[in-house]
Structure 1
Amino acid sequence: MRVVIVGGGKVGSYLAALLLEGQHEVHIVENRPQVLSRLHRELPTEAIVDGDGLRRETLDLAHADRADVLVTVTGDDEVNLAIALMAKTVYKIPRVIGRINNPRNAWLFTPEMGVDVAVNQTDLLAKLIVEEMSLGDMMILLRLRKGEISLVTEKLEPGAPAEGKRVADLPLPQDCLLVGAIREGDILVPRGDTVLQAHDEILALVRTGSHTAFRNLLANPTRAEAVEAEAED
């Protein structure tokens, strides 16, 4: 895949290094001397383009005309929007990803402005903190479909509603699918007649909004109430 990254800060340089490790063709655009000096220590010289990402001649040097993806991660939202719009309208780049620095500007990062995917780091962090506070012991392993669906894992506690029940008899949330269980080091594929036991580590695909209902099946009601009461205090 051919990728152009505009912005050589920590996010841009780290992304470039990851993509280069994956054998992708990468060009990273930067014009700040001190940042360029660091980039030349971290990345191959042929991947670095010295210039202003708002100028066509710079993007031409970065081969934006044949890029599959352009990622603009400068620290200025106005610059990111201008680059995204140019990438989409002038270079017809199929996938344009833009970084949002100020959450109040998120409403501007739309397909109409050339942005296919907007990355709002502040919003993601805030939502992650709130989610981690509400999920208790549940751990999210993987997010799919832009975060709508998660692969999660949680241990089945003694006294939980699901303990001793067959999978077929579980009142699972509508948007929840059990995909595996780990019991004493062995991996089980849950079937309708599989009986869940305390301390099983359950893996499931769960849609956002169904996490709490799924967690309540695996948690001891008494402990869950105590945790909620403690949180309210």
Structure 2
Amino acid sequence: MATTGDDADNLTISLLAKRRFSVPRVAARVNDADNTWLFDAHWGVDVAVPAATPLISLIEEATGTTDTVALLRLSKAGIEVIETAITSRSRAAGRALGDVALPEGTVVATIVRGGRPTVPDAAVRLRPGDEVLLVSHSATEDEIHAAFQ
């Protein structure tokens, strides 16, 4: 599976997997819908999976390939639930939640610390290992990632 956030990388990975390493079945994430036509057998792709597919987010979360993942899209309500994990490398580590500039239209739903959800408070200092769940009607995963990572 090629699941990076860059279509060119996913195509390159797919082609190498298929031709160089003889991988029998290759699935690739399509980030930009305008590029869908490229994701075919010529580029070593057997299955093209749109980035909007919730399964991609679940795969990313399970494999740890990203710090920030869209967990739920409620298209009728126009909101997303997004998770970002605080690591020792995160710019938000050690900072108070209130000091993190959130994208407009975004609220922190909870901070999961030690497996327990806590009520978000502006004074809470974020620590490595914290998982921050956000609800937004306009922010993208990339914007959330930029704010915390």
2:69 paired with 1:136: no
Partner residue, 1:80: none
With normalisation by structure 1, the TM-score equals 0.35
Match status 1:201 vs 2:116: no
Q: Deviations over 1:114-139 (max 9, x none)?
A: xxxxxxxxxxx62425x948993433
SS at match of 1:143: strand
In the alignment, is the contact (CA less than 8 A) between 1:180 and 1:202 conserved in 2?
yes
Partner of 1:151: 81
Give 1:183 deviation, angstroms: 0.9
Q: Which runs of 5+ in 2 are unaligned?
A: 1-48
Structure 2 counterpart SS, 1:215: helix
Specify the code of the residue in structure 2 equivalent to 1:167. L
Structure 1's consecutive aligned runs of 4 or more residues displaced over 4 angstroms after TM superposition are 131-135
Identity %: 21
Shift of 1:141: 2.7
Q: 1:167 aligns with which of 70, 74, 97?
A: 97
SS at match of 1:164: coil
Q: TM-score scaled to structure 2, two decimals?
A: 0.52
By relative contact order (CA 8 Å, sep 6+), the higher-ranking structure is: 2
Aligned residue type for 1:165: R
Larger Rg: 1
Amino acid at match of 2:132: I
Distance 1:175 1:210, change over 3 A: farther
User: How many equivalent residue pairs?
Assistant: 95
Q: Does 1:190 align with 2:120?
A: yes
Aligned CA distance change for structure 1 residues 153 and 187 (closer, same or farther; 3 Å): same
